[in-house]
Amino acid sequence: MKPIYRGRFAPSPTGPLHFGSLVAAVGSYLEARTRGGEWLVRMEDVDTPRNVPGAAESILATLAAFGFEWDGPVLWQSRRVEAYAAVLQQLRGAGLLYGCACSRQEIAASAGHLAVDGGLVYPGRCRGGLPPGRPARAWRLRVESGETAFVDRLQGRLVQDLQRAVGDFVLRRADGLFAYQLAVVVDDHFQGITDIVRGADLLASTPRQIWLQSCLGYATPTYAHLPVASNAAGEKLSKQTLAPALDPARASRSLLHALRFLGQPAPADLALVTVSEVWAWALAHWSFAAIPRQRSIPLPNPD
């Protein structure tokens, strides 16, 4: 079976592509192409209030300028709300979903400790039913105690007890929007994604996605979480940490740095050739085994 990968991009205030975005895209793209697979582009714009007008078009233009060629049409999550609603109803009918009336303040007052992603572990206040006179604000997926484990191609075996690490998690938010965890799982299944190569900043959310996949009877893709580029303070490169946007005029140089970041012995003169020539070298020399088995790599001065 032909492997199918996807590149994910969000047209939010953090949307303009920077070096960290490029690293994830390059790793995913080269794995797909060197294994005879397809590479699909998804615009993860389900959080519509955060979308910046024109950002999605800018992302696609930057990808094209850097020589990325994707298969098939771009999938826009903002156009798939009916599919998410149908899956939500399916889970509710199976008794796996319940309404939650808790506010953030109430959760903060009763939560025992921080969740793996920096939030608060949900204490299960509404698991047995809504308090009298309190309507549902959000909808949560039930989890059970016990290990959710998977083997990441780069990071090795990872184990998480969802009940302890995050608790029952939100699939539809209090503002009525669908959560990332639901949208990404539904879309991976819809697109037939077999392999996911992405940044290690998303490693902690993978067990939730695997749990949801099992609840829906979906196949679980193969995962590989690449090291993320961080600044001198150890913070992931992002617009919040003032990571500069990619400059298409310096595409070859930036691609060279991304390849080297991923452990590829790219020669310095690739910075002086065309984008097509950089990709030709990368496709001929790509080695997944050379990627550092790390979650983060400092990059004090990203180009």
Q: Which of 243, 216, 249 is nearest to 13 (CA)?
A: 243
Q: Which H helix or E strand runs over 109?
A: helix 104-110
Tokens of 95: 């008794």
SS (H, E, C) 178-223: ECHHHHHHHHHHHHCCCEEEEEHHHHHHHHHHHHHHHHHCCCCCEE
* Strand partners of residue 161: 147
Contact 284, 30 (CB under 8 A): no
CA atoms within 13 A on the CB side of 78: 13
Maximum distance among all Cα pairs of the chain, rounded to whole angstroms = 69
Task: Establish whether 236 is a catalytic residue.
Answer: no
Q: Which of 201, 156, 222 is nearest to 297 (CA)?
A: 201
Please give the Cα distance from 200 to 227 (Å, whole number). Answer: 6
Residue with tokens 């969000």: 10
| Dihedral over alpha carbons 182, 188, 191, 197 (to 10 degrees) | 150
- Looking at 173, 239, 285, 295, which residue is catalytic? 239
Query: Annotated catalytic sites, by residue?
Result: 239
